[in-house]
A and B are shown apart, each in its own frame.
Chain A
Amino acid sequence: MGTIDNSILTLILLVPLAGAILVALFPDRAKLPNWIALLTSLATFVLTLHLPFHYDLARGGFQFVVNKPWIENPAIAYHVGIDGLSLWLVLLAGLLAPIGVVASWNAIHSRRKVFFVLFLIQQTAMFGVFLSLDLMLYYGFWELSLVPMAILIAMYGRKDGPKAALKFFLFTFIPSAPLLVAILWLYARTGSFDFTTLQTLIAYGQFPAGPLCWVALAFLFAFAVKVPVFPLHGWLSDTYSEAPVALAMVVAGKLGLYSMLRFHIGLFPVQARAAAPYLIALAVIGILYGACLALVQRDFWKLIAFAAVSHLSLVVLGIYGFTFIGTSGAIYQILSHGVVDGALFLLLGVLYDRYATSQINAYGGLAGRLPRTATLFVLTTLAMIGLPILSGFVGEFLILSSTFGGVSRGWAVAASLGVILGAAYMLWLVQRVFYGPQSDLVSSKPPDDLHLGELALLWPLAVLTLVMGVAPSIWLPTIEQGVHLPPLITHSGPGFVTLTSTPMGGLR
């Protein structure tokens, strides 16, 4: 391994932080904060691009690992590394960061310094969550990611920012209390926060089953709120309608789903199997419930929020179906959702910027006035509802077909119904906003179609959805490398036999 391979992950973590410090130090003049933020986020993206080209697919497991002691007692280590699961998520976060900066270029007029400092800290925290292999380090970044988000929602909220920020923070902060107790319990028993060590110890049955069940539940609860899974979604719609566009697209969905895959299923395969039927049921309810609510929303931010509940529940369905194809499809769907939702947020941000309202019925007949916006919006919508040859299709197909074959036909049929509803509300949104007679609002303002900068952001995303739709083989091999199915409770004997395919750095 070259030196760059040893320090690449640390660089990815430090560059946004350094950018934040630079933004804080330089004066807020002549868009200087914007430029610094753009350059650092571009630099980070270039750094993340290094990863897929140097990840050794044949070897698998965690790579680019750095493991240094940070605090002696308790033994917290700076332990980072990536595998097939986190690789593309890191890349996705890297891609969305510069796009987020450009999307905020004109949207953020005041207090640019504060905005970009917090935005870049948020980046570091997100990368930290994806990269950490030490539970305390992970928990640290997980919590840290809340703060910039909450402050920025309060600062730039459209209507009632502070209230939405408080809701967001409490909803995600309180469940992390049991999570911390659970982590501390694991530590009190083993003296280690290390992911691979704990994974091995749990697989070898070092813990009493009763408490371990509660520990797994505490993990699951914290992640389920963050996703959000059906009854815990109360914070999402307010956050989506109040958060600055850049943050909403950066944050949506990824952290909770990744954490489920890595730390719930990864650490507690047996308990995850036991919880799976409930989660599948909740996921299907979430799919239908989110879709139904999306159908009746009058505000497009809220519509997108409930659409997200529906889509993220579909991913949960794929994850807890415990089929190889379903899990791969779920990870693929996270990536696709990140790109498509990002593009959609940008487009809605453009509309909000031009017309200063998010009420759907204020719009109408925009296609004639803003043709380029309409084209891209329709393309993104089609990708979102899972039209074949666009990115949404691959993940949806993999998840639904694996659920049909491997889990339960009934759930698969119900989930497919949600997908159909998804097409309904998205196309209806397009119809109400872009077609039909021109509304007073639309005709009263001069047409102001997408600018060059906005096109430069949106077209690459549109092309990316197309490439992801026709050539999933670019991504899937690496993703499959990161999929480790937990053993079946009934068929396999001692749990660790099937688990030996997972990396066990702690034992080597």
Chain B
Amino acid sequence: MNPVPDIFRILPEVILTLTGVLVMLIDASLPSGFPRRNLGWVAAVGTTLALWASLFQLSLPQGTGFYGTVETSAFTIFFHVLICGIVLVALLLSLDTLPEDSHHQGEYYALVVFGAVGMCLLTGAVELLVVFIALEISSIATYVLAAYRKETARGPEAAIKYFLLGSFATAFLLYGVALIFGATGTTQIYQIAHAAPTALNHSLLVAGMALMLVGILFKVSAAPFHVWTPDVYEGSPSPVVALMSTAPKAAAFAVLLRVVYEMFPTLRSTWSPLLWIVAVLSMTVGNLAALRQQNVKRMLAYSSIAHAGYLLAAFAGLGSSGIAAASFYTAAYAAMNVGIFAVITVVGGYHEATPMIDDYRGLLYRSPLLGGVLIFFLVSLVGIPFTGGFFGKFYSFSAAVGGHAIWLAIIGLLNSGLAAAYYLRLALATAQRPDETSAKSSAPAPQVGVAVGAALLLAVAATLVLGIVPNEVLRAAESGAHTLQAPPPQNENGIVIERLPAAESDLTHP
């Protein structure tokens, strides 16, 4: 077998890094008054190339590179493609939204791309220190992006909240890594999986895992680690929210899957009830809080907490069914959430003149396109069949039922019934006749530019494909799930990297 050059294992990350550096260099060499909008196109092209590079990795044999620190497998490719897709849509969205004279546009695009590097690396890392570094790369980029509208009061506030709480969470994660290292003597995930069942200090291992879970659950904004979400979403520019409500979460869920299913399958009896509780809390807290919101972005922030809960329900699924369901849900959630934030970006504009639900009244009359697309995404978030949102929920809860977590499924589905109330409030306001007396709701419809149009089209197409012909995506998710559970190939560098055989891990937890 020809050894695969290590560089191929991180090709998408390399391309994204080069793109980011290129954007920064061009930005620095342009005269100060020169419009920098086209840098966004450079970033978009780079992201598209990275997406192709991820697909190219399908032809590589599954394995690790750089001394067993990064992996390429169907699992990592699934998430790479997903993240690159989200970043691409977010970039297209930003192109038409950021004001022409906006300061530091070059930095914005570079940060988006650097953030993507971190997220991609996060899904491929099989070494806890690389996980930590990748998490920091992606987090720091998003902290800065959250503060992009620094002329407003809310922007810096959001960023500082996000930064302080996020740093705490990362510290938890790092502490967990340290404890796990103490218990097993390694930070390589396969080796930890191998050593964990026989580790002498079992409680140290459990504590380490719990701390790691705290750090990761913060990133996916699951309750009770969710308090930052509404404020940050409200203060950040909408295209940034489109990005950070989906891509970092997708990456964090990939890490979570890796930690619980690949690293600690033997501790299932410990993490499974924990995640059960977090799932129920997230859905319930998210939905109940969202019911009371009048601000659209805050409402969607709470809705994203609830969706994290639905997604965590999939972790009750046994073996590959749970992994596949969680991966699929991540994709479905990303498609519809990016889509809805795209609509909000267009309607609200950069300065967000229309933040309230009432401001959306009559949107369907003013702009049938935007109103229709908004209702479509809301319908998908509710989970109506023939949309991606339905199949996401369907697979997630069917994995839960398959894992004998009937109550989790019942609570989850009742919650999704409850959630319909606030989604519909927005959808019905959109469908209502416009209020002639209000200046805001009778304002002329916003224009849909080429880039934003392409972003909307991509999101609608993805949501429909996931809802009507999900076979291909599901197959990809399943083969990803299998690679996460199958024994790894031998490493060409001679390092002993073993993984617990999948059969054994299933046997230990009937």
What is the interface of chain A, defined by CB distance below 8 A to chain B?
A: 71-74, 110-111, 113-114, 136, 139-141, 143-144, 146-147, 150-151, 154-155, 161-162, 165-166, 169-170, 173-174, 176-178, 180-181, 184-185, 187-188
Contact = CB atoms under 8 A, between A and B. Distances in A.
Given A184-B409, A188-B402, A174 B414 contact: yes
Given A73-B478, A177-B416, A178-B410, 14 more contacts: A71-B470, A141-B385, A143-B390, A144-B384, A147-B384, A151-B375, A155-B364, A155-B431, A155-B432, A162-B432, A166-B421, A166-B425, A177-B413, A181-B410
Contacts of A73: 474, 478
B489 interface: no
A161 B398 contact: no
A147 B410 contact: no
Contacts of B409: 181, 184
Interface string B471-502: 10011001000000000000000000000000
B8 interface: no
Given A151-B431, A162-B432, A166-B421, A184 B365 contact: no
A154 B428 contact: yes
B418 interface: yes
Contacts of A147: 379, 384
Contacts of A174: 414, 417-418, 420
Contacts of A140: 385-386, 390
B364 A143 contact: no
A255 to B, nearest CB: 15
A185 B417 contact: no
B401 interface: yes
Contacts of B379: 147
Given A147-B384, A154-B432, A170 B417 contact: yes
Interface in B373-405: 375, 379, 382, 384-386, 390, 394-395, 397-398, 401-402
The residue among B394, B395, B402, B475 with the most chain A CB atoms within 10 A of its own CB is: B394
A143 B385 contact: yes
Nearest to B385: A140
B483 to A, nearest CB: 17
B431 A154 contact: yes
B431 to A, nearest CB: 5
Nearest to B422: A166
A180 B471 contact: no
Contacts of A71: 470-471, 474
Contacts of B431: 114, 151, 154-155, 162
A146 B390 CA distance: 14
Contacts of A146: 384
B413 A151 contact: no
A189 to B, nearest CB: 10
Contacts of B428: 150-151, 154, 161-162, 165-166
A311 B381 CA distance: 36
Nearest to A153: B428
The 9 closest A-B pairs by CB, nearest first: A140-B385, A177-B413, A174-B417, A154-B428, A162-B428, A184-B401, A154-B431, A155-B431, A184-B398
A184 B402 CA distance: 8
Contacts of B425: 162, 166
Interface in B144-203: none
B89 to A, nearest CB: 24
Contacts of B478: 73
B262 to A, nearest CB: 22
A110 B364 CA distance: 12
B113 to A, nearest CB: 36
A114 B429 contact: no
Contacts of B433: 110, 155
Nearest to A179: B413
B316 interface: no
Contacts of B470: 71
B424 A165 contact: yes
B427 interface: yes
B390 A72 contact: no
Nearest to B324: A73
Given A143-B385, A151-B375, A177-B417, A113 B368 contact: yes
B406 interface: yes
A110 B431 CA distance: 12
A271 B368 CA distance: 48
A124 to B, nearest CB: 10
Nearest to B417: A174
10 contacts: A73-B478, A113-B368, A140-B385, A141-B385, A151-B428, A161-B428, A165-B424, A177-B414, A181-B401, A184-B398
Interface in B120-151: none
A147 B428 CA distance: 11
The residue among B365, B406, B428, B474 with the most chain A CB atoms within 10 A of its own CB is: B428
Contacts of A188: 398, 401-402
Contacts of B414: 174, 177-178
A72 B470 CA distance: 10
A187 B368 contact: no
A172 to B, nearest CB: 10
A181 B384 contact: no
A161 B432 contact: yes
B417 A111 contact: no
A388 to B, nearest CB: 44
A177 B421 contact: no
Contacts of A184: 394, 397-398, 401, 409
Contact of A139 (B368, B372, B385): B385
B222 to A, nearest CB: 21
Given A114-B364, A166-B425, A188-B401, A180 B413 contact: yes
Interface in B326-372: 364-365, 368, 372
A185 B410 CA distance: 11
The residue among A173, A177, A188 with the most chain B CB atoms within 10 A of its own CB is: A177
Interface string B23-50: 0000000000000000000000000000
Nearest to A166: B424
